[in-house]
Amino acid sequence: MSATTAAATTDVAAAAGSPSTSSTTPPRRRSHLRKRLELLILIGPATVLFVAFVFLPLIAAGYYSLFDWNGFGPLVDFVGLDNYTKALGDPLFQGAIGHNLFIVVASLVVQLPLSIALALLLNGKIRGRTALRLLVFTPYVLSEAVTAVIWLSLLQPHGVVDGLLEGAGLGGLVQLWLADQNVVMFTLFAVITWKYIGFGIILFLAGLQGVPDELREAASIDGASGWQTTRLIVLPLLGPTIRIWIFLSIIGSLQLFDLVWIMTLGGPGGASTTMASYLIDRGFRRYEFGFGSAVAIILFVICFVFALFYQRFALRRDTQGAITGRVE
């Protein structure tokens, strides 16, 4: 279309005062039909893909969850909310929720302060900083599958970890890392920390780049101690980064699957079952598709409610334009 027609349509649209747009929208440059077509070409494919593989499956899961169904044949055995009450009443699933919450809380209590502290220590001039960043970040890019296999090897009875502890005269600390019901969650948490701590450090290092040196210098000229400067100036300015880390960490902890599935299959005796591993176990190993769908919906509701509240109350100011999506 030529520029002149574009200008002309603008006038027409303005004159017609089209009903679908408010007075604040900029004048249109294209005919209505053409714009429709362009939008269809641009958004259509992504929407179809997304609806087919993300949105509809979610709705379908909600529907299946009301049936007793093995994934084959017609959905006839309507059971209402039975699957939900059964799942929520199952001690194994209650345990799974507990294990996810354990990872959520442990991450907040251990990983958050640890990665901030390490980022503060590593911030500033240090020899080999680039190499250091690269090394620290390495475990994060490994797949959870590879991470699981690595640590399965390290944690074997009489394996490397046991050998090192004995070598250090700490043989008494040796445990059945993955086979002891009282130990396995702590072991998994340690592996998770190994894999994800570098991500936190890098994120906070990036956040610290946004804290001007002048502020810290001014504070210390005013007589603030190092700890006071950190607590009163650096940490508040890190606020947005901390809040996004907490968000990612909690969502990740609620979804924990690959690592658990490969390292323990949720065992021993359900001691490391997570919501997702419980879901896959019931759905794909026992073909309880209706029941598994109910578990999926519970998992979704937990993630969604958390995300909604968190975005409403904590993330709001940080992410305007990014997640809340205001443009212009």
Check residue 168 for interaction with another protein (CB under 8 A): no
Q: What is the DSSP string of 255-282?
A: H--HHHHHHTTT-STTTT--HHHHHHII
Closest by CA to 194, choosing from 99, 110, 97, 101, is 110
Nearer Cβ to another protein (53/182):
53
Q: Which is nearer to another protein, 202 or 271 (CB)?
A: 202
Q: Is 135 in the site for another protein (CB under 8 A)?
A: yes
Whole-number minimum distance, CB 188 to another protein, in Å?
A: 15
Query: Binding marks (x or -) toward another protein, 5..24, rule CB under 8 A?
Result: -x-------------xx---
Task: Show the tokens assigned to 95.
Answer: 């345990």
| Angle of the 239-255 helix axis to the 112-122 helix axis, nearest 10 | 140
**Using CA of residue 199, residue 201, residue 202, residue 207, what is the dihedral sign?**
positive
Q: Determine the straight-line distance between the first and last CA of the chain, rounded to whole angstroms.
A: 26
Q: Does 309 bind another protein (CB under 8 A)?
A: no
Q: Is 64 in the site for another protein (CB under 8 A)?
A: yes
252-271 residues in contact with another protein (CB under 8 A) are 255, 257-258, 261-262
Region of 77-85, 93-101, 179-187, 299-307 interacting with another protein (CB under 8 A): 299-307
**Nearest CA among 303, 304, 249, 311 for reference residue 276:** 303
Q: Output the smallest distance, CB 216 to another protein, in A.
A: 6
**One residue of 108, 174, 251, 314 binding another protein per CB under 8 A:** 251
Segment 76 to 115, residues that bind another protein, using CB under 8 A: none
Query: What is the closest distance, in whole angstroms, from the C-beta atom of residue 205 to another protein in the complex?
Result: 9
Q: How far is CA 201 from CA 187, 195, 212, in A?
A: 21, 12, 18
What tokens does 315 get?
């993330």
Distance from C-alpha of 255 to C-alpha of 95, rounded to nearest angstrom: 15
- Least Å distance between CB 177 and another protein? 13
- Which residues in the 189-228 window bind another protein by CB under 8 A? 194, 198-199, 201-203, 206-207, 213, 216-217, 220-221, 226
182 vs 258 by CB, closer to another protein: 258
One of 73, 91, 124, 172 touching another protein (CB under 8 A): 124
Is the CB of residue 66 less than 8 Å from the CB of residue 149? Answer: no
The nearest distance, CB 160 to another protein, in angstroms, is 4
Q: Does residue 230 bind another protein (CB under 8 A)? A: no
Closest CA to 72 of 285, 290, 310, 327: 290
The residues near 174 (Cβ < 8 Å, ≥ 6 apart) are 162, 165, 166
